[in-house]
Amino acid sequence: MKTIENKSKSNIREADKRAARLLCSSFNDAMRNGKGFREALLIMIDSQKSSIPELRGIDTKGILAGHNLQMNVLLPKDIRMRVSQLISYLLKKQINPSLQLSDMFMLDIFIDESLLPLSEWVQR
């Protein structure tokens, strides 16, 4: 009896992984340097516009406002979740619109592994 394998081709490019890595790294660095959540998000996007061409034309404050990411985060665990959601949004909507749900699942894992634990964002 033959088993039918449904192997869909991944649409994840090396450029997508690189973009996720750069965005995570920028956010991590900003938080470690004592920046607030909102400022770290602005830095995360604006600092990578020269490295990630697809981000050059976006309005960073508009993106954040559209995701309600400018409001205060009450619980520390919300920070990681919201950063991850924003990076996923940027990857899917701005950087590579051909990413499928399965691709995003894999990239979300990659993003989660690339974001430092909250304790390491706190300046010592």
Q: Which of 81, 85, 78 is nearest to 63 (CA)?
A: 85
Distances (CA, A) of 67 to 27, 58, 60: 17, 14, 11
Write down the domain spans for the chain. Answer: 14-115
Q: Which of 36, 11, 3, 18 is nearest to 123 (CA)?
A: 36
Task: Give this prediction's pTM.
Answer: 0.85
Q: Which of 70, 82, 67 is nearest to 38 (CA)?
A: 70
pLDDT range class, residue 102, cuts 50, 70, 90: very high
Please say if the pLDDT value at position 7 is more than 60. Answer: no
pLDDT range class, residue 77, cuts 50, 70, 90: confident
Q: Is 25 helix (H, G, I), strand (E, B) or coil?
A: helix
Q: What is the mean pLDDT of residues 39-67?
A: 92
DSSP strands (E only) in the chain: none
Q: Are 61 and 79 in contact (CB under 8 A)?
A: no
Q: What is the mean pLDDT of residues 52-77?
A: 78
Q: What is the mean pLDDT of residues 71-84?
A: 74
